[in-house]
Chains A and B, each alone.
Chain A
């Protein structure tokens, strides 16, 4: 466990750099994560993915199937990788403040 500095505030992240407490999530944290994840600019499309992930997580307590994420947001997997270079599980979920998807992924 370690902390990252978000505008002077210490935010706790786990060994993989994911938020320990999903409830502290806010826009400043997304911006800080974006830099760490090589996301150069947060566009409307990024927010569409992030908000979708958050809504799904709030309802179901888990990240959605990757294909469902693509279908419901209208982005191809390649587009998601272009937006979040480390992919939907490691990149997009991290920015959305979800826990790291684990198991055989």
Chain B
């Protein structure tokens, strides 16, 4: 079978601190990888042992609805993992394997794993509809992490990982460039407001460490500007770190080891400036990685951790807005609504900032993914990405005309312009919730 992804080669793996397991050892390594993971994450066992094949998850998954591919039904996707688990780790699987759906490892196993575990956006919508709460995203996370240890990983992921090792962010922005970007944004804000609004870098003795997405230093400038204006408005003593200029944590999407390393970077950055509070920028999965795993996987942290949308919401009484005459809707990033407890805060902020806020259907924890979730942003996947984004496009189309489409996550911001263009909504303006805050805020 042909894999729809560009896979990492030896050189790519090396740059990301990874290595390839030789072909003849892959089967053994895969079985060992499953064994280690199931012992580390008992939750995975529950997911693997419980499915009754009731089918309730099929129509919950935008990946299946968009592609129509059987293997993208959550239970079928999970079965790619379950078959091996049963074959190698259950007594019935070892003895009467094929009668109970167990399957031997063969030449196609890894090709199928890569193909379908990289068509799962790890959005967790299936878990909302499964009567047992089976979360196929957990199985995808495990499968991807196990494959990465074998050297089976898309080149896109190793490219990002190599940049993270080299510069502390996914885009590969070195510190002098970060400073140049900040000066540029400060000039922009000065021109617009006449005020000296700073974006401090590595400032010692800062109360707040703000972690932006590195994409805010390339394409999503208005998000960073909105955040800087907000901190200015509340008089915060804050800084951004040059050592981890990245709210995303792709480790969660391809290697649990890489995820822990990045969380460690964040802890060290907070320590370096003496921050009591770490505020995470607009990134969905990164918020999940920070919130759920900073302490869980790396031990107690001596600082508070909050998401920028939550923090801005908590400070709303200190802010003054002049409503923009806009009709706006909100896309709930999956990792906010189904993994991060960020649901009402962006709504309250938007309602304060614009004249008309409208909900798409379904919304909140039942919202559909943008189709780029879990880092499916590879160019070679563009056709599949458009299928994954089909449900989202249908949701938005029903609400037209809109003046602005709020998509407060960097992956959504990268994926959705392509989706909107593909489905005939090219002119729709999009961006983060903090972009809107920055435009509506009245500064003294």
Contact = CB atoms under 8 A, between A and B. Distances in A.
A67 interface: yes
B379 A104 contact: no
A105 B218 contact: yes
Contacts of A15: 6, 155, 380
A90 interface: yes
A71 B184 CA distance: 10
A49 to B, nearest CB: 16
A101 B218 contact: yes
Contacts of A102: 156, 159-160, 163, 170-172
Interface residues of B, number: 35
B174 interface: yes
Interface in A12-68: 15-16, 60-63, 65-68
Nearest to B7: A15
Contacts of B181: 65, 68
B84 interface: no
B213 interface: yes
Interface in B391-407: none
A63 B9 CA distance: 25
Interface stretch (B291-299, B314-322, B408-416): B408-416
Given A65-B181, A65-B184, A67-B188, A103 B174 contact: no
A62 B177 contact: yes
Contacts of B6: 15-16
Nearest to B415: A104
Among A62, A71, A105, residue most surrounded by chain B Cβ atoms (within 10 Å): A62
Nearest to B166: A61
B12 to A, nearest CB: 10
Given A60-B174, A102-B163, A103-B171, A65 B379 contact: no
Contacts, number: 76
A104 B83 CA distance: 34
A62 B173 contact: yes
B425 to A, nearest CB: 16
B263 interface: no
Interface string A77-105: 00000000000011000000001011111
Contacts of A67: 184, 188, 221
A104 B184 contact: no
A34 to B, nearest CB: 19
A80 B213 CA distance: 24
A102 B380 CA distance: 13
Interface in B211-237: 213-215, 217-219, 221
Contact of B176 (A16, A60, A103, A104): A60
Contacts of B218: 63, 65-66, 89, 101, 103, 105
Contact of A104 (B9, B180, B221, B410): B410
The prevalent SS among residues of A at the interface is: loop
B9 to A, nearest CB: 8
Contacts of A61: 172, 174, 177
Interface in B151-182: 155-156, 159-160, 163, 169-174, 176-177, 180-181
A1 B12 CA distance: 11
B18 interface: no
B377 interface: yes
B414 A105 contact: yes
A104 B217 contact: no
Given A68-B184, A102-B163, A62 B172 contact: yes
B258 to A, nearest CB: 14
Given A15-B6, A15-B155, A103 B184 contact: no
Nearest to A86: B379
Interface in B274-311: 283
B379 A103 contact: no
Contact of A103 (B9, B177, B180, B248): B248
Given A15-B6, A68-B181, A103 B155 contact: no
Nearest to A99: B172
A47 B9 CA distance: 34
Contacts of A89: 218-219
Nearest to A15: B6
Nearest to B188: A67
Contacts of A104: 170, 213-215, 248, 283, 377, 410-411, 413-414
Contact of B174 (A62, A66, A71): A62
A105 B159 contact: no
Given A61-B174, A63-B218, 13 more contacts: A15-B6, A16-B379, A16-B380, A65-B181, A68-B181, A89-B219, A99-B172, A102-B170, A103-B163, A103-B172, A104-B413, A105-B218, A105-B414
The 3 closest A-B pairs by CB, nearest first: A103-B170, A104-B410, A60-B177
14 contacts: A65-B181, A65-B218, A66-B219, A71-B184, A89-B219, A99-B172, A102-B156, A103-B163, A103-B169, A103-B170, A103-B248, A105-B171, A105-B219, A105-B377
